[in-house]
Amino acid sequence: MLAQAEGQLAEEHTRISEELQQRDELLKIALEVNGMGLWVWDLLEGTAYRSDQMYRIAGREADSIDPVPRRGCNWFTRRT
């Protein structure tokens, strides 16, 4: 019985992972087609994600901008 429940959980995990991956791909396509970028700043973790398109919109190379925003720092400010 436990093995059956574990199997069902594994199948559900696989299904959800595949669905999430499909949605992620659709979002990337939609952003690219519309010339939009994506920027997510996690204030609690102190991390940031910027899509490749976001860098292009800013006219910057990925390594020319701080990977983690700082307080009072403009996103478009060059790294010093």
Q: Which pLDDT does position 15 carry in this prediction?
A: 97
**Domain match, 40 and 71 both:** yes
Structural domain count of the chain = 2
> Is 5 among the domain residues?
yes
Condensed to tens digits (0 to 9), the pLDDT of residues 56-79 reads 888 888 777 666 665 555 555 555
Contact 46, 61 (CB under 8 A): no
**Domain match, 27 and 51 both:** no
Condensed to tens digits (0 to 9), the pLDDT of residues 15-61 reads 999 999 999 999 989 998 999 988 888 888 878 888 888 888 888 88
Residue whose entry in the numeric block shows the structure tokens 């860098």: 55
Q: Which pLDDT does position 44 carry in this prediction?
A: 84
Alpha carbon separation from 3 to 8, 9, 15, 17, 58 (Å, rounded):
9, 10, 18, 21, 52
pLDDT of 4 higher than 70: yes
**Domain match, 2 and 30 both:** yes
User: In one letter, which amino acid is 58?
Assistant: A
Q: Which pLDDT does position 68 carry in this prediction?
A: 62
39-69 core/surface letters (b: 16 or more CB in 10 A; e: else): eeeeeeeeebebbebbbeeeebeeeebeeeb
Q: Which pLDDT does position 72 carry in this prediction?
A: 54
Residue whose entry in the numeric block shows the structure tokens 């991956």: 21
**Domain match, 28 and 54 both:** no
